[in-house]
Structure formats: C-alpha cells, structure tokens
Structure 1
Amino acid sequence: MITVQNTIHASIDKVWDFWTLPEHIKKWNIAIDDWFTQEVDNDLSEGGKFKYKMSKKDGSLSFDFEGIYTKVENLSLIEYRLDDNRTGKVSFEHNGNTVKITETFEPTKQDSESMQEKWCQTVIDNLKKYVENN
C-alpha cells in the first residue's frame, strides 16, 4: 500500500467540496506538469461511479481513471475500488481550521511504487495549494 498525506489550512466543508466537486477536481488533480484532468464525472455515493479523463496537454495521450465508491462517510471517509480491482481510501481528519487528508491505495504493477507515491503526493500537494489559495 502507498500512503500520501498533507495538512490543509481550511474548513472541512471547503476541503471536502474541493476534493469531490468536478469543477474543483479539474483544477488540482495534476500529477505531472504536462498533463491535465480533461473531464470529471463524480457520483459521490456508495455504489456511485467516478471517472477522470487524464490527458497530455499536447493531445498525444490520454487515459481514464475510474472506479466505484464502496463507502462514503460525509466529511470523513471515502473508500473506492478502481476498475482494475485495486482499492483505496481517503480520510479527512479535521481539527479546527485544518484538515489532515490521507490517501492510501494499492499500487499498479506497471510503474514503480516510488514513482506512484511521488505522483500522488504531488496531487495532494496541488490540492493543498488550490484550497488555500481559493
């Protein structure tokens, strides 16, 4: 399992909304500078599906990151299963005006675990910057 985390200086409501609403996800869900999140569909409910279309800025490559939510506890926990059956979870621990967000997930076999950890930490770091600056 890979775990990434960060502490965000904002309310739990704001962090939750920015993590879950498509118009916000498109702004921070970037692991590598020459990629972007082109489309987001997100049915945040148990059994609901999510799909992020990730694309290179030059249009040469894209892929869909998708799965199903297996557990959703409002303002607290999101668990999911990806289409390749890997699982993950995101926890939100709030303390006053800060939120510690922690994501744990099963890595793929195609890429090194250290690279996947770096990519996901970059995404969490981008979320922090986006939330704290908007």
Structure 2
Amino acid sequence: MDTGDKVTITVETIVHAPVEKVWEFWTEPKHITKWTFASEDWHAPIAENDVRVGGRFHTRMEAKDGSFGFDFGGVYDEIRINEFISYTLGDGRKVTITFVSQENDTKIIEVFEGEATHSIEQQKAGWQAILENFKRYSELSKEN
C-alpha cells in the first residue's frame, strides 16, 4: 500500500447486551484476555489498558502452541465512555470503534486502516473473527 492510499475496512456486529456491559468487557484487561483472538488455537495472555486520551493499550496475542505471537497496541486519541473510542496503532494506522445502544443490545462498528502485508479480505476476516469472539464472550459471560 502506498502512503496516501489508505484503505479503510469496516467490521460490525450486534451484541445482545447493554452498552455498559459491552464497554466494560471491551476495555477491562481481565476481559480483554478472554476474547482478543481470532480462533480457538490462539489466546491473549497479556492485556494492559489505560482508557483515557493519551493512554496506552497493549495486548499480546499468541498461538497456543507457541509457534507465533505479536503485540497489538497503540495510544488513545479520543474516548467517549459507552459511545466511542479512537486510537492510533503503533504503526500509525487509525482505528475507530462506535458503540450504539439499541435498548438491551449494542451495535459495534469498528473502522480501521488496512496494512500492506495481508489482503483486505484477510484483514477484514481476522478483525471480524475477533469481533465475533467478543460477541460470544459478552453474551455468554455471567460477569458484570
């Protein structure tokens, strides 16, 4: 991808849980480690999150067999509790997440700038899989 040729990709889902619970599960490290991976053969053993403008976040994602892993992190640009998050990833790409309260459901819309290593389809599929993992975790969890 050339500089200036930024492609934005959108993934979304509806979580059958109130926005306050969705926000908590999205932002608290004890929950982040339970859903931030695209498939069951991966996990997120470490999550740190300072949810404020200028705050940093870091999540370690690894294959359970130890064959591969990477760090995912960045700095928050804007925070509106229960409504909106924007951040800049370590490589400079921008991400926004919008949380739309719909009675007892929450629509999550995540928009991110693509990177040059993987195809748009691969990136969209990976981010959507993580979002669906979040949905499953949030809907099945008995924690509040």
The TM-score, its normalising length taken from structure 2, stands at 0.90
Matched, 1:47 2:54: yes
* Cα distance in 2 between the residues matched to 1:104 and 1:78: 11
Q: Which amino acid aligns with 1:112?
A: S
Matched, 1:81 2:88: yes
* Cα distance in 2 between the residues matched to 1:48 and 1:35: 26
Q: Which amino acid aligns with 1:9?
A: H
The 5 Å alignment of 1:28-67 reads 28-67=35-74
* Cα distance in 2 between the residues matched to 1:32 and 1:111: 17
Q: What is the RMSD computed on CA atoms of the aligned residues?
A: 0.8
Give the corresponding residue for 2:111.
104
* Cα distance in 1 between the residues matched to 2:25 and 2:90: 24
Q: Which amino acid aligns with 1:52?
A: T
The TM-score, its normalising length taken from structure 1, stands at 0.97
Structure 1 residue runs of 5 or longer lacking an equivalent are none
Give the corresponding residue for 1:22.
29
Q: Which amino acid aligns with 1:4?
A: V
The runs of at least 4 aligned residues of structure 1 exceeding 3 Å deviation read: none
Count of paired positions: 134
